Amino acid sequence: MKTMHLQILIILSLCYVCYGNLEGPFLFFGPKSLERYRRPALKSLDQDDLMRIYGEQAAIVVFNNQDSVPLSSGNFPRLRKMLEGQTTLVLPQDFLDVHPDYISNETQVLTLQGPWSERDAQMTETFARLQDIYGAGRVLGVLGNSVSQSQISDYDGEWVRVRRQAEDSTTTAATEEERPTRIYTKFPFYNASVVNGKGILMYSSGWPELKWANGTVMVLDTPVGVATVKATRLYTILVLQFAHGDSTRDKIYLEFSFKQSGGWWTAMGVEVKLTYEGPGLNLQGPPPPHAPSAVLGKAYHCSLPLVYASEEATLTMPDIRMQPFMDSTEKFADAFDCIGFTTVPIWSGLMVTFIIVIGLAISISMIMDIKTMDRFETSKAKQLTITVSD
């Protein structure tokens, strides 16, 4: 027993040396067996429980988020969507007493770096691939973050809530209305930063909505990877990738084309593809003069929905702001607005003002035409005589 205890201590010491940078809170997800290890007060799991969890799995994948920015559930929309069908377990502890690599030989450690959308894709695609190999419900996913203790308090969403509840044992459980809600990404923002004046910025207040001729509507709310730019002889093209339905592998590609001519740029259309190299469906943008366009170096903004259409489908993007052919994509320049000065509300206001001015002028003219008596009877003057004829 002493020998076994000494071996465990050696393993734990090696665990802290090799994986000391992986800190909590931790998110365990995957197999239904995690339900048995949930604690009412969300207390930390001890060494024995962790070893049992690891030993029950056919494979384990550890996602180590290498970033000084604390984890946020809003940064991982694809993972959040995938977890809707998985069992999850949140551990508020700072460190894992036993790392899965020392228990299971089928353990992979994946370091997450790069843009948030790329990390999101790495996690979901890796987990889905392992499930295809070992079977659904037999793969355990572990998500932790490499962040100092002073930064852990900055976590948002559900992970920080469970950590705060576990540490404050004297506070009664908050009601569902009092708990902070999760913070999800609401506004899509696409930044394709390249050199030689080819950078593109695009923003929308809602996700792209693709509607087919048969009435099927697809809301592209799960971006994959990063926005890229490819240039042809005639056009500069912004390429966006989105997950196709619930699949973490199938993708839909939107390729927005922009043309430069005479010191102006114009958004021509968008091509919808199911494969990157395969044929696509061409959707045309609004014709001139309603097409999105602006002087080079300026942005375009329209609060009205921008619709790309063809006989087979339409793509709608609300409250769009875009600017191609940029040397630096740090921020938008001043924007040309699709709605000019003479909008319907402005015309209505001018007409009402004009009617009020005319009415006021007529009223003043009528008041000025009123004739009043200019002679009055007094005791010193001759008595007034008013002649009245029948």
pLDDT tens track for 126-159? 888 888 888 888 888 888 876 543 343 334 444 4
**97 to each of 13, 20, 22, 48, 330, how far by Cα in Å?**
10, 10, 11, 9, 43
Answer whether residue 260 is part of any domain: yes
The pLDDT assigned to 121 comes to: 85
Two tokens, residue 27: 């998110």
- Per DSSP, the three-state class of 234 is coil
Region 319-343: mean pLDDT is 83
Pairing of strands 87-91, 23-30: antiparallel
Answer whether residue 76 is part of any domain: yes
Higher-pLDDT residue of 227 and 181 is 227
The pLDDT assigned to 295 comes to: 92
The pLDDT assigned to 187 comes to: 52
- Confidence class for position 300, pLDDT limits 50, 70, 90: very high
Q: Which domain holds residue 320?
A: 189-337
The pLDDT assigned to 310 comes to: 92
159 and 212 fall within a common domain: no
The pLDDT assigned to 313 comes to: 93
Q: Which of 79-83, 336-340, 375-379 has the lowest mean pLDDT?
A: 375-379
By percentage, how much of the chain surpasses pLDDT 70?
Answer: 70
206 and 138 fall within a common domain: no
Question: Any idea what the CATH number is for the domain that residue 263 is in?
Answer: 2.40.160.110
233 and 140 fall within a common domain: no
Answer whether residue 367 is part of any domain: no
The structure tokens 């500069």 sit at 236
Q: What is the DSSP string of 268-307?
A: EEEEEESSSSS-EEEEE-PPTTSS-EEETT-EEEESSPEE
Region 173-178: mean pLDDT is 38
- Confidence class for position 108, pLDDT limits 50, 70, 90: confident
- Which residue, 304, 320, 337, sits at the end of a domain? 337
Backbone angles phi, psi at 361, to 5 degrees: -65, -45
Most confident of 42-46, 246-250, 370-374: 370-374
Statement: residue 73 has pLDDT above 80: no
Distance CA 215, CA 313 (A): 9
Backbone angles phi, psi at 14, to 5 degrees: -65, -35
Region 65-73: mean pLDDT is 65
51 and 146 fall within a common domain: yes
Return the percent helix, strand and coil in the chain, to nearest 5: 25, 30, 45
Statement: residue 106 has pLDDT above 60: yes
DSSP 58: S
Answer whether residue 380 is part of any domain: no
Structurally, how many domains does the chain consist of?
Answer: 2
157 and 253 fall within a common domain: no
The pLDDT assigned to 193 comes to: 66
149 and 28 fall within a common domain: yes
- Confidence class for position 268, pLDDT limits 50, 70, 90: very high
- Listed in sequence order, the residues at least 6 apart from 244 whose beta carbon sits closer than 8 Å to its beta carbon are 250, 251, 252, 274
- Confidence class for position 96, pLDDT limits 50, 70, 90: confident
- Which residue, 132, 167, 202, sits at the end of a domain? 167
130 and 256 fall within a common domain: no
Answer whether residue 127 is part of any domain: yes
- Confidence class for position 37, pLDDT limits 50, 70, 90: confident
255 and 328 fall within a common domain: yes
- Which residue, 297, 320, 337, sits at the end of a domain? 337
- Confidence class for position 67, pLDDT limits 50, 70, 90: low
Most confident of 4-8, 41-45, 314-318: 314-318
Answer whether residue 348 is part of any domain: no
66 and 209 fall within a common domain: no
The pLDDT assigned to 154 comes to: 39
The pLDDT assigned to 342 comes to: 66
125 and 196 fall within a common domain: no
92 and 202 fall within a common domain: no
220 and 111 fall within a common domain: no
Answer whether residue 122 is part of any domain: yes
Answer whether residue 382 is part of any domain: no
